[in-house]
Structure 1
Amino acid sequence: MSTEPETTEEAGPGTPDTPGTGDGGTSGAEDAGGVGAGAGADPAGSDDASGEEAGADGAGGGDGAAGQVSEAEAELAAQRVERERIERRKAEKKSPIESGTKLSGTAADLLAAVRAVETGEKPVATVFAEPAPEPRRPAPEPVHRPQPAPAAVAAAPAQETVEGVRGVLAEGGAPESLAPQVAAALGEAAGAALREDPWQLLRVGGVRPDQADGFARALLGEARGPDDERRDRAVTVWLLEQAALAGHTALELPTLTAALGRQSVPDPDAAVQSTLAEGEALAFQDALEEPGAAAPQKPDEGEAESEEERPVRVLVGLERYALAEESLADGLARLVNSLSKESDQAWQAAAGAVTGGAAELVRAVAGHGLVLHTGAEAARTEPAALLGAARAAGLRAFAVCHTPDGRHRLTGLPGAAPAERGVGTVAGLLSGAEGPGRDADGALELDLLIVLDAPQLDVESAAMLVESLPDGARLVLSGDPAVLWSAGPGRVFADLLAARVCPQIASRVPDPGPIGELVSGIGVGELNQVEAPGKEIVIVPVRDAAEAVHRTVQLVADSVPRAIGVPADQTVVITPGHGGAAGTRALNSALKERVNPGPGRFGGFDPGDRIAYSPAPGRTVPGVVVKADAQGLHLSCADAPVIVPRERVEGAVRHGWALTAHQAVGARWPAVVVVLPGDAAQTLSRPWVYTAFGRAERHLSVVHGVEQALPKAVAQTQAKPRTTRLQTLLRTQVPA
């Protein structure tokens, strides 16, 4: 077979599908609606729908001299401040979170337990009526928010705490290397807490219930009973954490109890009730929408409650995601209801400065506090034009993207420059490293915030952004709804589109060229043959995973540079998972040996290695290794120097010639090689294929070994559903 890239017409058959998946990330999430997935997420990114970087656990390195606050630390600290503000906002509410109507039986008992924790009263065995409606507020005056305290950097656990945990781990036969993580998760009294409740070991990412059970048996001996409530609660929380890794903000009660049964919990209902009573989770009741039914309306004050009960579902979730989702819905309603009229003249000027689809977008933003904009890569010209017109009209406008690459591409469009004033990243804005800064009340000094790559917003990041906007500001969420959802919990953009609570502007600007035509077809479920006279699209059939790796290395190092003119350092490889014979690990090993061979003296890395750096959960930044010394591994990421301490390298840095689609989303490269080995057939879906193929700008090679599984996935396999509450919350707070 020639080493030159073949044209589309030369595609031949691949090999039959073989069972298994590339990394096993998504398959296990089927238990209990995403619970029961593998033991924790991979630090630099697994390609399941949950969010590959969640397992990084905040790992990240400093990017300056000792004593300075790193980007990752500043970002995490800023997120903590925002979460505290969200919690304060929720604490001011007089009534607990709830929606829907009456319940009875076990569901009512569970809700009574959580109400007892919230109110301090004894639970009562009665049904729950819908709370009295809150009056809708008409365009309130700006609320003066308390200014957040300066971000504090989380200190590492004290050495004596770590040593105390190390002794308990050794006594129970667990790896002593887990001591720093346990100490960070359990606090100063971590050793005593772990000895008292060995199943607290499940708070550490990557630990499975069977491993915690073995640790508990060794530590407790005869004192461990078969129906220990400590185990039941710990496993319940662990399942909810696994669900969050799979993208859910909550689980339906029957799903959770079924999963508990599979984890050998003798009485799942009692386990859930105990977890709620201890305040380790929250329960909710949400009214179900009947097909074709109108959105539920709040009754007028004094109106009698309908005799006919609406069907409801009972959900259980972790507090942090429940508060974030509630705060997000509340903040979006605030923006919709507090539209400022003071800048009408400026918005009229902005609308007159643009034409076409951009003019339609500007007019919608002028009259609404929240607007959704959908479209593919070429459609980014419209929010760029909106940004330029708003700034030219004297409005304080700023746009953020998911990745530094997205920021760079946006600044190259008309209207978006200059970059230092108008465009940044979501992480940079939240950490304070980018953007306009905050006023004396802690709100961003903005009249307009445009968020591109909006499908990548998880519920916590979205809540922090919305909470940071002042009353009267306008928010535009723009993105391609066909790409993979966020790495973290939630499906914010999809939920907003489905809720239909604000204007939605669909771009009519198509992506150009053969790749744009191919990807557009995939978006509607069609894998079309397209003409590629300039070898823009090439299909490379392979028989097995070994041949897939061989051909991939050949394409990156030789064929694409020679035939297409794209050098190896501008080509990325995308594969479904990290594990397997053709996963990122195998591909990166083979590519390093060919492209940048070396001894890997610092944690397997050498100067010149391409890497994927995870500074915080849910984020992947591509970069290059510069050097290594006593400080750690020196990287260049998005033209910025980063130093990753030695102890964090293993958890935060991967080789980056080959990525998963979740790691690659939000960025584009001149050339992309998508690897589809036979064992990846079960993991393919339309969003995955759409995202992977859409990362290519000039050239796309498909190393094809899944035969008919590819067109079948494009035609039939949609994104795996996520359980969220945002749609329900929005329908009760925002007028239709």
Structure 2
Amino acid sequence: MSEAPIAAGSQGGGPVERTRAVLARLGAPEPLAEPLVGVLGPGAAEELDADPWRLLALPRITPEQADHCARRALGEGPSPDDPRRGRAIVAHLLGRAAREGHTAIEERRLARAVRAAGVRTAEAAMTAALDDGGVMVFESFPDDGDPFGEGGEAAEMPEPERHYGLARLGLAEQDLGEGLVRLSGTGEPVMDSATAAETVAATAARLGVEIAPETVAALVTVALRGVSVLTHGAGSRAAVAHVVACAADIGAESELGVAVAAPTAQAAAALNAELTALGDGGAGAVAVPLARLLECRGPGAFGRGAERPVEAGLVVVTDAMALDVEHAAALVEACADGTHLVLVADPAEAPSVGPGQVVADLAASRALAVAELPDAAGAGPLAELAALVAGGELGEVAAPRREVVVVPAGSGAEAAHRTLQLIGDSIPRAVGIPAEEVQIVAATRGGEAGADALNAACKARFNPGPGAYNGVDPGDRVLLAADGPGYAAGDVGHLRAVEGGGLAVELPDGTSVGLADAAHLRPGWAITVAAAHGGRWPAVVAVFGPQTRGSRPQVYTAVTRARHHLSVVHASGPALARAVREIPSLPRHSRLVRILREG
């Protein structure tokens, strides 16, 4: 059982000290006390004393480790069918499924997994988990059956399908579906089709650009429908900028007002740079991070919501593939009745880091408007490479201005060495992009070319120090791993010291946010593909080490994080091309399609 790091600057208290004492009796590492108190609350010691399987509330703990501690506390008598063990196993399995992206698991599938964990009475364990309150069951009826039996008589009602999920995720997904149905039903047209098309034409004339007919049609849909999903590819960034600029004018003409957001600070900064290049920077809409739009205060806590909605009748969110069900639910809750919500997303990207597959489910439901934006002709080598990957091919592209560079490596150690050369010397010298604007995106955390090893190497080279704040120091590039006041999980910036001994993170748009908790900090010189989802940088070094077990969406997401330059450090041999060719999707189990169809 590995020990968990204690967040820098934390102070022991009554609940933590009591929990440490219980852990010592159980033979478990005492540093687990603080995270247990964070999960179970101030009564963690008492709960753990009465039920050693509460250890499974921590994701890093395995059932075997919890069983060992239970035997030490309770003797050799505890049965594998102990109700305390059963409910903990159910919650543990659903928590693991959530970390893999699933929001709910079908009853029979869950029961098989519970029995595989040594619980013979799976049904009793599932009932105990429901009684504990952290797990919920949701029933729905199949919608593909014949409602009429033989002779035209009404058929008997089929057995309901039952899905289990963590309560917070199940409720968020239910709220999201019902909220989307609400917006779809209350979103009256803000313009007729002709007026919307005329407004788009006026925007095009103001900016001196030609807007494709498909983009015009999509914007007409935005004006007419309460909820719209606009899909695009890697070559559609110009079309996305056109949508945002025109949406701002539609919002102004209709006197609704517009709000534009992206999942992370770096994605918002990239979109604003594209709007500036278009000639609309600041003149129309200005994108903000979603955390700022919703006035994030901490994990799951937002200043904007049903009681205080966003003050705009047209809300546009780009890079929406990064939205998980909980953030999407918070966004929808913050949209008042009648608000037009527009989600702009590239469906070839990997699903969100958090549970759910929101955009994919919206498109699959056929309950909401979906329109496709066109690729631009001659979008460039970056878009060309992405299109190849989206089609299942890891091929080469011509890049006369070094937009794409492939650096082969024979080992993980060589891949790490090449990566440091690229970020510290080659890219700044040959491409003209400074090191602080180059982001390393690694396919794995572990291994010699994984994010952890690359972070250690970058810190030693660029900002040596003791790692006083959860492994980082002022001056380090950092990844924010949880939501906090004004920032979101996935934001990448630089850690700064402020007066009074506090800490702040300088984000890519130049704003600075104070830290709610140093435990939210992670090294950010190198981040995984999952952490990079929803972010875009001027230059990216995508590192595929020997341990890479990729997929087409993972590789596509990695190569589409760069705006101007991409270096691919490739040490995974033919396995990477095989993954792109043979693993086209990352399916997840969710309930959103059914909720939307049921209305």
With over 3 angstroms needed to count, the CA separation of the structure-2 counterparts of 1:306 and 1:525, relative to structure 1, is farther
Residue in structure 2 matched with residue 92 of structure 1 by the alignment: none
Decide whether the 8 Å contact of 1:578 with 1:585 is kept in 2. Answer: yes
Q: Which amino acid aligns with 1:370?
A: V
Residue in structure 2 matched with residue 120 of structure 1 by the alignment: none
Decide whether the 8 Å contact of 2:552 with 2:585 is kept in 1. Answer: yes
Among candidates 400, 407, 423, match of residue 287 of structure 2: 423
| Residue 399 of structure 1: how far off its partner (Å) | 1.1
Q: Which amino acid aligns with 2:526?
A: A
Question: Which stretch shifts more, 615-624 or 339-348?
Answer: 339-348
- The reply to whether residue 368 of structure 1 matches residue 236 of structure 2 is no
With over 3 angstroms needed to count, the CA separation of the structure-2 counterparts of 1:163 and 1:420, relative to structure 1, is farther
Among candidates 632, 640, 644, match of residue 511 of structure 2: 640
For residues 543-692 of structure 1, the aligned pairs below 5 Å read 543-598=410-465, 600=467, 604-616=471-483, 619-627=489-497, 631=501, 633-638=503-508, 639-644=510-515, 648-649=517-518, 651-680=519-548, 683-692=549-558
Decide whether the 8 Å contact of 2:23 with 2:30 is kept in 1. Answer: yes
User: Could you give the per-residue CA deviations for residues 364-401 of structure 1, whole angstroms, max 9, x where no partner exists?
Assistant: 12221111101133332132123321243122211110
Could you tell me the TM-score, scaled by structure 1's length? 0.71
| Residue 237 of structure 1: how far off its partner (Å) | 0.7
With over 3 angstroms needed to count, the CA separation of the structure-2 counterparts of 1:259 and 1:630, relative to structure 1, is farther
Q: Distance in 1 between matches of 2:524 and 2:398?
A: 31
Decide whether the 8 Å contact of 2:350 with 2:557 is kept in 1. Answer: yes
With over 3 angstroms needed to count, the CA separation of the structure-2 counterparts of 1:557 and 1:266, relative to structure 1, is same
- The reply to whether residue 398 of structure 1 matches residue 259 of structure 2 is yes
- The reply to whether residue 494 of structure 1 matches residue 360 of structure 2 is yes
With over 3 angstroms needed to count, the CA separation of the structure-2 counterparts of 1:443 and 1:282, relative to structure 1, is same
Among candidates 244, 256, 270, match of residue 384 of structure 1: 244
| Residue 519 of structure 1: how far off its partner (Å) | 0.7
Decide whether the 8 Å contact of 1:571 with 1:672 is kept in 2. Answer: yes
Question: Which stretch shifts more, 391-400 or 279-288?
Answer: 279-288
Question: Which stretch shifts more, 506-515 or 234-243?
Answer: 506-515
- The reply to whether residue 214 of structure 1 matches residue 63 of structure 2 is no
With over 3 angstroms needed to count, the CA separation of the structure-2 counterparts of 1:438 and 1:272, relative to structure 1, is closer
- The reply to whether residue 504 of structure 1 matches residue 365 of structure 2 is no
Decide whether the 8 Å contact of 1:444 with 1:470 is kept in 2. Answer: yes
Q: Distance in 2 between matches of 1:176 and 1:229?
A: 26
**RCO comparison, higher one (Cα < 8 Å, 6+):** 1
| Residue 481 of structure 1: how far off its partner (Å) | 0.8
Residue in structure 1 matched with residue 206 of structure 2 by the alignment: none
Decide whether the 8 Å contact of 1:602 with 1:633 is kept in 2. Answer: no
With over 3 angstroms needed to count, the CA separation of the structure-2 counterparts of 1:609 and 1:445, relative to structure 1, is closer
| Residue 722 of structure 1: how far off its partner (Å) | 0.6
| Residue 419 of structure 1: how far off its partner (Å) | 8.8
Taking only the aligned residue pairs, the percentage that are identical comes to 38
With over 3 angstroms needed to count, the CA separation of the structure-2 counterparts of 1:630 and 1:437, relative to structure 1, is closer
Q: Distance in 2 between matches of 1:482 and 1:360?
A: 22
Q: For residue 422 of structure 2, give the secondary structure of its aligned residue in structure 1.
A: helix
For residues 313-324 of structure 1, the aligned pairs below 5 Å read 313-324=161-172
User: Could you give the per-residue CA deviations for residues 506-549 of structure 1, whole angstroms, max 9, x where no partner exists?
Assistant: 11133721111111221122333321222222222211111111
Decide whether the 8 Å contact of 2:316 with 2:341 is kept in 1. Answer: yes
With over 3 angstroms needed to count, the CA separation of the structure-2 counterparts of 1:729 and 1:222, relative to structure 1, is same
| Residue 493 of structure 1: how far off its partner (Å) | 0.4
Q: Distance in 2 between matches of 1:311 and 1:198?
A: 37
Q: For residue 671 of structure 1, give the secondary structure of its aligned residue in structure 2.
A: strand
Q: Distance in 2 between matches of 1:205 and 1:282?
A: 19
| Residue 277 of structure 1: how far off its partner (Å) | 4.4
| Residue 630 of structure 1: how far off its partner (Å) | 7.7
For residues 535-550 of structure 1, the aligned pairs below 5 Å read 535-550=402-417
Decide whether the 8 Å contact of 1:608 with 1:625 is kept in 2. Answer: yes
User: Could you give the per-residue CA deviations for residues 562-587 of structure 1, whole angstroms, max 9, x where no partner exists?
Assistant: 22222222222211121122111111
| Residue 439 of structure 1: how far off its partner (Å) | 9.8
With over 3 angstroms needed to count, the CA separation of the structure-2 counterparts of 1:229 and 1:582, relative to structure 1, is same
Q: Which amino acid aligns with 2:363?
A: L
For residues 143-292 of structure 1, the aligned pairs below 5 Å read 159-221=13-75, 224-288=78-142
Q: How many residues get paired?
A: 571
Q: For residue 75 of structure 2, give the secondary structure of its aligned residue in structure 1.
A: helix
Q: For residue 216 of structure 1, give the secondary structure of its aligned residue in structure 2.
A: helix
| Residue 158 of structure 1: how far off its partner (Å) | 9.8
Could you tell me the TM-score, scaled by structure 2's length? 0.86
Decide whether the 8 Å contact of 1:437 with 1:444 is kept in 2. Answer: no
Question: Which stretch shifts more, 583-592 or 178-187?
Answer: 178-187
Residue in structure 2 matched with residue 515 of structure 1 by the alignment: 382
Decide whether the 8 Å contact of 1:384 with 1:416 is kept in 2. Answer: no
Q: Distance in 2 between matches of 1:273 and 1:714?
A: 42
Q: Which amino acid aligns with 1:328?
A: L
RMSD, aligned α-carbons: 3.4
User: Could you give the per-residue CA deviations for residues 438-474 of structure 1, whole angstroms, max 9, x where no partner exists?
Assistant: 6995333321111111111111111121122221111
- The reply to whether residue 408 of structure 1 matches residue 280 of structure 2 is no
Q: Which sections of structure 1, spanning at least 5 residues, go unmatched? A: 1-37, 44-55, 62-155
Q: Distance in 1 between matches of 2:46 and 2:478?
A: 39
Question: Which stretch shifts more, 416-425 or 393-402?
Answer: 416-425
With over 3 angstroms needed to count, the CA separation of the structure-2 counterparts of 1:440 and 1:343, relative to structure 1, is farther
Q: Which amino acid aligns with 2:264?
A: T
Q: Distance in 1 between matches of 2:578 and 2:11?
A: 50
Q: Which amino acid aligns with 2:287?
A: V
Decide whether the 8 Å contact of 1:350 with 1:392 is kept in 2. Answer: no
Q: For residue 446 of structure 1, give the secondary structure of its aligned residue in structure 2.
A: coil
Q: For residue 392 of structure 1, give the secondary structure of its aligned residue in structure 2.
A: helix
Q: Distance in 1 between matches of 2:498 and 2:268?
A: 28
Decide whether the 8 Å contact of 1:667 with 1:695 is kept in 2. Answer: yes
Decide whether the 8 Å contact of 2:190 with 2:224 is kept in 1. Answer: no
Residue in structure 1 matched with residue 207 of structure 2 by the alignment: none
User: Could you give the per-residue CA deviations for residues 128-162 of structure 1, whole angstroms, max 9, x where no partner exists?
Assistant: xxxxxxxxxxxxxxxxxxxxxxxxxxxx9993333
Q: Distance in 2 between matches of 1:559 and 1:674?
A: 15
Q: Which amino acid aligns with 2:368?
A: C
User: Could you give the per-residue CA deviations for residues 584-603 of structure 1, whole angstroms, max 9, x where no partner exists?
Assistant: 11112222233334454655
Residue in structure 2 matched with residue 24 of structure 1 by the alignment: none
Q: For residue 679 of structure 1, give the secondary structure of its aligned residue in structure 2.
A: coil
Decide whether the 8 Å contact of 2:365 with 2:597 is kept in 1. Answer: yes
